[in-house]
A and B are shown apart, each in its own frame.
Chain A
């Protein structure tokens, strides 16, 4: 399976600021996703990152708050904008296999908003 890295691994940010999280894959992948995992909770899909077009957002998530870029098949960014303490969470990118639909996760970014 692909090797996935995320930067930063963790950050502490002030309310009202923005943070951009990077996801890098060591091979070209078609499917890439962004998830949020709040403390003690399961995974919630934020959006599907589409190469060359706008991301597809899930209900409850909007582009103004979580802008996503996918400039090529190995890289994506998720920005958490105008942060509040409720955005404190682990943010995970994943890549999907087009035939098996298996998904593999990056190591995650632990965000704390104060």
Chain B
């Protein structure tokens, strides 16, 4: 069964802190991983994609991938109240349709002013 697991939270961090969001996946052969941000009442917005082991940085966001541990994380540095949202992790599994993404249940993040 193809699964993507996330801690549902809620996760609260103070403004300016680092928020750490975690995700594990079941298919060792998965190649592509994505983080989406979803504000309440809005559709998901792609913020990061990562394909290789290691870190990928984009502004205040860093995605980390460890394929051996089947683990993906998203770090948000200098967290702002505007980062308060639900963060969805998604994986493209190697089995089945290679075009599909499987989404985790999301982690709700609140950044406290």
Contacts and interface: CB of A to CB of B under 8 A. Distances in A.
A42 B105 contact: yes
A1 B45 CA distance: 11
A53 interface: no
Contact of A42 (B32, B98, B104): B104
Given A42-B104, A42-B105, A101-B32, A106 B99 contact: no
Interface in B10-34: 32, 34
A41 B97 contact: no
Given A41-B105, A42-B88, A42-B105, A48 B45 contact: no
Given A105-B43, A105-B45, A107-B43, A45 B100 contact: yes
A106 B43 contact: yes
Contacts, number: 46
Interface residues of A, number: 21
Interface in B61-113: 88, 90, 92, 97-106
Contacts of A45: 100-102
B97 A101 contact: no
A102 B99 contact: no
A31 B103 CA distance: 17
Contacts of A96: 99
Contact of A102 (B34, B43, B102, B105): B34
A78 interface: no
Interface of B: 32, 34, 42-46, 49, 88, 90, 92, 97-106
Interface of A: 1, 31, 33, 41-43, 45, 48, 56, 90, 92, 96, 100-108
A-B pairs, top 8 by smallest CB distance, nearest first, are: A105-B43, A43-B103, A42-B105, A108-B43, A42-B103, A101-B32, A101-B92, A105-B44
7 contacts: A42-B105, A45-B102, A48-B100, A90-B43, A96-B99, A103-B34, A108-B43
